[in-house]
Amino acid sequence: MICPECRHDNIEGVDHCENCGHDLRNLDLPDAAAAQRGREFIYERLADVPAKTPVKVQTPDPVGLAVRLMQTQEAECVLVMNGARLAGIITAWDILHKVAGSNEDLNAVTCGQVMTADPVFLRDDDDIAVAVNKMAVGGFRHIPLLQGGTPTAVVSISDVFARISPHLV
């Protein structure tokens, strides 16, 4: 417990500051249980977060198709499939940094060549806290949600923030 007078770090529960003698009994300390109330939203399931339907391409498809789908379906990313299995993900960053250029033909490069392979994924029943942690640690903005091995949605950091922001003070 930090003394408000001298900033000495006292042992929790003492009545007076060991350094200056200031009375610590009447400090308005937050109740730990009360501090946790209202934070349950972080444990909501990702299935409850409004997410986008995944836009999908196959590994041999040209990157030009992925770009066109991102434009027409207003998608921030495209999931790259190898048959029915999730193989990778392509974002605007991948396109800008891996293939875009004045002489590059986007139809001569395949999605499999550009994708970020084996992306981190979560499941519908994972909670928001897990998604926030994965995104922060991994440094990415989109996570595919899989159910039974099949992509059902893509959750973005914007989706998560929109869900939790009303609860933040």
The tens digit of pLDDT for each residue in 2-22 reads 888 777 888 888 888 888 888
Q: In the chain, what are the domain boundaries? A: 45-167
Q: ∠ CA 20-22-26 to the nearest 5 degrees?
A: 160
Superfamily of domain 45-167: CBS-domain (3.10.580.10)
The one-letter amino acid at 93:
W
* Mean confidence (pLDDT) of the chain: 87
Residue with tokens 């029915």: 84
Residues 151-165 pLDDT 10s: 999 999 999 998 888
Based on the number of CB atoms within 10 Å of its own CB, is 13 exposed (0-12), middle (13-18) or buried (19 or more)? exposed
Q: ∠ CA 138-140-146 to the nearest 5 degrees?
A: 90
